[in-house]
Amino acid sequence: MLGIFLYILGTGAKVSQCRERFQRSGSTISRHFAIVLEKVSRMATNLIAPEDSFFSSIPEQIRNDSRYMPHFKDCIGAIDGTHIAAILPPNEQVPYIGRKGIPTQNIMAVCDFNMCFTFVMAGWEGSTHDIRIFLDAIRDPKYKFPHPPNGKYYLVDSRYPQMKGYLGPYRGQRYHLPDFRRGRPVSDFMEYEDINWAYENIIHSENAHGLESDDDDDDDDDGDDGESNNSSDFEMELTRDAIASSLMNSL
Phi, psi values for residue 107, rounded to 5°: -115, 130
Q: Which residue has the higher pLDDT, 231 or 122?
A: 122
Beta bridge partners, 119, equal 110
Q: What is the pLDDT of residue 234?
A: 84
Q: What is the pLDDT of residue 183?
A: 57
Q: Which residue has the higher pLDDT, 105 or 159?
A: 105
Q: Which residue has the higher pLDDT, 195 or 97?
A: 97
Q: What is the pLDDT of residue 174?
A: 66
pLDDT at 127 over 50: yes
Q: What is the pLDDT of residue 193?
A: 37
Q: Render pLDDT for 15-71 as a digit per residue (tens, 0 to 9).
A: 999 999 999 999 999 999 999 999 998 898 888 999 999 999 998 989 998 878 888
In contact, 124 and 104? CB cutoff 8 Å: no
In contact, 164 and 238? CB cutoff 8 Å: no
Sign of CA dihedral 24, 29, 32, 33: positive
pLDDT at 162 over 50: yes
Q: What is the average pLDDT value for the chain, to the nearest integer?
A: 81
pLDDT at 130 over 80: yes
Mean pLDDT of 176-184: 60
- Helix orientation angle between 15-22 and 26-47, rounded to the nearest 10 degrees: 100
**Domain extent listing, the chain:** 2-46, 50-250
Q: What is the pLDDT of residue 206?
A: 45
